[in-house]
Amino acid sequence: MHYIIYFDICAIFILLIILLAIMVRKRTKGRNNSLMLSLILLTLLATLGDLGFAILSNSTTHLIDNRFLLYLSFSLYFLALNMILPIFIFFIYTSIGVWHVFKQKQHLTLIWTALSGVPFLAVLLNPIGLWVFHINPDYSVSFGPFVYLFHAVAFAFLVWSVLTLINYRKTVRMDKMVILTFLFPLVIASVLIQTFNQAFRIEMFGISIALMTFMITIQSSENLIDPQVGAKKYSAGINDILNIINTKKPSTLLLVKIVNHNNILMYLGQEVNDRYLRMLSQKMQEYAAKNRYDADLYYLEYGLFGFLSSDDDRKSAAKVAEEIRKYLEVSHKVDDFDVLADPRICIIRNPDDFDDFQSMLIFATSFHKTLPDTKSIMYYADYKDRSAFKVRNDLDEIISNAISNDRFQMYYQPIYSTVEKRFVSAEALIRLNDREYGFISPTLFIPLAEKTGSIHAIGDWVLRDVFRFMSENNLNELGLKYIEINLSASQCIEPDLVDRIEYLLELYNLMPEQVSLELTETAADIDPEIVDRNVKKLHNMGIRFALDDYGTGYSNIRRVVSLPIDQVKLDKSFVEKIDDPQMWTVIEDTISMLKEMGKEVLIEGVETEEVAKRFLELPCDLFQGCEYIQGFYFCKPLPEDEFLSFIRDHDKSKIES
C-alpha cells in the first residue's frame, strides 16, 4: 500500500509554526498554556510517528527490512494519538475555569487514570500477542480485536468532553463554546476518511487545524490585552471574575487602586500617563513572576489593577502585594515628571468572601472608599463582618428600605445673626436611623444615593417634610425668617423642579420668602444651562438661594456672580486654620470680596467660643464682616421637637448674655 504523506507534512509545518508562536509570545506559563503545549507536542509526536511509518512503508523493499522501525513508528503514532483526548479533557476544564471541580471530585481522577492507562498498557503488551495492531508482510498495518477497546476509550473521552461543556455551558461564552466543540466534528471527519482509506493520512492534519484554531482564538490573548497598559482589558477581567463566581473556583483577587489616578492623569497628560500605567503593569508582573504567583493582571480602568489567580494562593498574593506597596510608597520618574501614587491594596479570597458577582464587582471598584483609609495591605475577610463595613456594603438596600419604611428624619441646626444677635433661621439636615445599623452619616449615604438615582426620592421626601414642618409651626412666632434646604446636584437639573416646589408652596400655604435653597459649587456647575433656568425661576418667585461649602471646590467666582445667590456659606476649612495669620487674611479678603458683590456671608463650622468671638467682633457692614454664624458652639443639629424647644428658650437676651 502506498501512503499519501502530504497532509502529515502540512500538519508538521502547522504545528511547528504554533510552537514558534508560543515561544515568541512566551505563552508557556500557567496550567492552560501548559496543557495547550502538551496537546501540540503530543500531536507533533503522533504526526512524526505517522509520517515515519508512511515513509518507511513506502520506501521498504525486499532488499531492506524495516519492520522493527515500522513497528516503533506506528507505536509512537498510536500511543501519542490516544493520549490527545485525555489531555484535551484537562484543557476543557481549565479553559472554562472549572479545573477545581475536577480536583475536588476524586472519582473523576480515578476514571481519567483508568481510561488513560489503557493505551499505555495495550501498547506495552501488544508485542506479546499483537492484539492491537501488527505489521503485515507488505509492510502495511492491520488491527487486532483489542483496537475496539481504544475506540471505546476514545468514545468515552469524547462523551465526557461534550457532557462537561454542556454541564458548564452557562459559564462559557457562546463563541468559546463553539471553538471548544470545533475539534469534535473536525477530528471525527478526518478519522472516518482515514478509516475508510488508510492510504489517505489526513487524521493528524485535522487535529493540527483544530489546535491552530484554538491558538488563534482561545489561547491568543492579544485581543484581550490593553496595548497602552500591557495588562488584560476590563472586559476580560469581568468575564473571568464572573466565571470564578459562577463556578465557585478557589482563587485570590489582588486589587491595587491608585486613588489619585485622576490627578496623575491631569498632571502627566494622556500619553505620558499611559506610559506610567504600563510601567506599573510591567513592575507588578515582574513581582508576580518573582514570587511564582500564577495570576493574570487586569487593568480594570480608572487606576484599578487586579491580579486574578488560578488558585487560592493567599501567601504568594501577600508577597506580591507587599512588594507593590513598597514600590509605590516612593515617587518614580516618568519622562521629566516625578509621580507619587496614592495606593490602596486589598486581597479577596474566593469563594469564601463572595458568592455573587454583583457584590464582588461593586466591592472591587469601590473598596478604597468602603474600607479604612490606610496604605497597609487589607484583606476583605478582616472587614466583612464588621458593622461599619457592612453598612457601606449594604447601603443601597438600606436606602431603599428607608424610603419605603419612612426611616429618614429631619434635624434642624439654628443659624445665628451677628447683626440681630439672635437665631433667625435654621438649616434642615437629613438623618437616617436604620433599625439594624442605627445612625448612618449623610456623608455616607448621600453620595451613594447620588450614584444610584435614589437621591431624587430622598430629595422629594426632604422638601415635603420641611414644608410640612414650616406649615405646622408658625415661623414668625418662632422669630425665624426662613429655613434652609439643601438641593443635591441631581435635583438642580430636574426639569420639573420649579413646578414641584411651586406646588408644595401652595399645598402647605407657605410664602416663597420662607424658603432658602442651598446649592453646592459642584451642583451649581453640573449643567449650567438647566441650573441657571431653575435657579432664576425659583428666585424670581421669591425663594432665597445660598451657595454652600464655598472654598471646598474650585470656587468659580463667575458662577457666583451669574447666579442669583443671596448668601455664600464659607466652609469650615476656613475656620480650622483661623490661628494662621495668613489664613485670617484670606478670610477677611474673601468676606470683603463677597460683600462687595452684594452677598451675605455665613461662617460654617464654628465650634469654640474663641472662634465665635473672632467673627462676632468683626464689624459687619456693607464691606466687611459676616452676617451669620452656624456651628456646634451655638447648637448642634436637633430633632424637630428639641429644635422648637431650643428656639423658644433662647431669645435675644439669653444669647447676648
pLDDT in tens, 440-476: 878 778 877 887 788 888 999 999 999 999 999 989 8
CATH number assigned to the domain covering 224-393: 3.30.70.270
DSSP H/E element including 257: strand 251-258
Least confident of 13-17, 306-310, 418-422, 542-546: 306-310
Q: Are 12 and 43 in contact (CB under 8 A)?
A: no
C-alpha 619/C-alpha 612 separation (Å) is 13
What does the block give as the cell for 189? 471527519
Q: Are 212 and 20 in contact (CB under 8 A)?
A: no
Report the range out of 163-172, 505-514, 516-525 with the highest average pLDDT. Answer: 505-514
Residue 567: name the closest of 539, 548, 592 by CA. 548
Percentages of the chain per state (helix, strand, coil), in multiples of 5 = 60, 15, 25
Confidence of residue 123 (pLDDT cuts 50, 70, 90): confident
C-alpha torsion sign, points 227, 229, 235, 240: positive
Q: What is the pLDDT of residue 654?
A: 42
Taking residues 591-609, what's their average pLDDT? 89
What does the block give as the cell for 94? 481549565
Q: How far is CA 443 from the centre of its chain?
A: 23
pLDDT tens for each residue of 232-282: 887 777 777 877 777 777 889 999 999 999 889 988 988 899 999 999 999
Q: What is the pLDDT of residue 559?
A: 61
- Is pTM beyond 0.75? Reply is no
Q: Residue 579: which residues within 8 A CB-CB, separation 6 or more?
A: none
Q: Are 548 and 519 in contact (CB under 8 A)?
A: yes
Taking residues 514-543, what's their average pLDDT? 83
Q: Extract long-range pairs of 323-329: CB within 8 Å, 24+ residues apart.
A: 323/287, 323/290, 323/291, 324/256, 324/283, 324/284, 324/287, 325/375, 325/376, 325/377, 327/283, 327/287, 328/256, 328/258, 328/280, 329/375
Q: Are 561 and 499 in contact (CB under 8 A)?
A: no
C-alpha 574/C-alpha 611 separation (Å) is 11
Q: Are 524 and 547 in contact (CB under 8 A)?
A: yes
pLDDT tens for each residue of 171-197: 566 656 776 676 678 778 887 888 788
Q: What is the pLDDT of residue 527?
A: 64
Taking residues 7-17, what's their average pLDDT? 91
More confident residue, 485 or 189: 485
Q: What is the pLDDT of residue 555?
A: 47
In the predicted model, is pLDDT for residue 386 greater than 80? no
Q: What is the pLDDT of residue 363?
A: 82
**If you search the block for the grid coordinates 434652609, which residue do you land on?**
484
What does the block give as the cell for 296? 493574570
Q: What is the pLDDT of residue 653?
A: 41
Q: What is the pLDDT of residue 552?
A: 55
Side-chain-side CA neighbours of residue 231 (13 Å):
31
Domain 405-652: which CATH number of 3.40.50.2020, 3.30.360.10, 3.40.50.980, 3.20.20.450: 3.20.20.450
Q: Are 348 and 354 in contact (CB under 8 A)?
A: yes
In the predicted model, is pLDDT for residue 320 greater than 50? yes
More confident residue, 3 or 386: 3
Average pLDDT, the chain: 84
Partners of 333 in beta bridges:
338
In the predicted model, is pLDDT for residue 219 greater than 70? no
3-state DSSP call for residue 295? Answer: strand
Q: What is the pLDDT of residue 218?
A: 57
Q: Are 484 and 466 in contact (CB under 8 A)?
A: no
Least confident of 355-359, 363-367, 436-440: 355-359
Percentage of the chain modeled with pLDDT above 70? 89
Taking residues 523-530, what's their average pLDDT? 66
Phi-psi region of 153 (alpha: psi -120 to 50; beta: other; left: phi over 0): alpha
- Where exactly are the structural domains of the chain? 6-220, 224-393, 405-652
Q: Are 542 and 513 in contact (CB under 8 A)?
A: yes
C-alpha torsion sign, points 171, 177, 183, 184: positive
Q: Tell me which fold the domain 6-220 belongs to.
A: Rhopdopsin 7-helix transmembrane proteins (1.20.1070)
DSSP string across 465-506: HHHHHHHHS-HHHHT--EEEEE--HHHHT-TTHHHHHHHHHH
* CA-based radius of gyration for the chain: 37
C-alpha 478/C-alpha 424 separation (Å) is 9
Q: What is the pLDDT of residue 31?
A: 73
C-alpha 305/C-alpha 296 separation (Å) is 10
Confidence of residue 142 (pLDDT cuts 50, 70, 90): confident
Least confident of 121-125, 382-386, 493-497: 382-386
In the predicted model, is pLDDT for residue 428 greater than 70? yes
SS3 for 322-367 is HHHHHHHCCCEEECCEEECCCEEEEEEEECCCCCCHHHHHHHHHHH
pLDDT tens for each residue of 27-80: 666 677 788 889 999 999 999 998 988 888 887 654 456 778 888 898 898 889
Q: What is the pLDDT of residue 62?
A: 45
Q: How many residues does the chain have?
A: 657
More confident residue, 65 or 348: 348
C-alpha 241/C-alpha 355 separation (Å) is 11
Taking residues 132-143, what's their average pLDDT? 82
Q: What is the pLDDT of residue 120?
A: 81
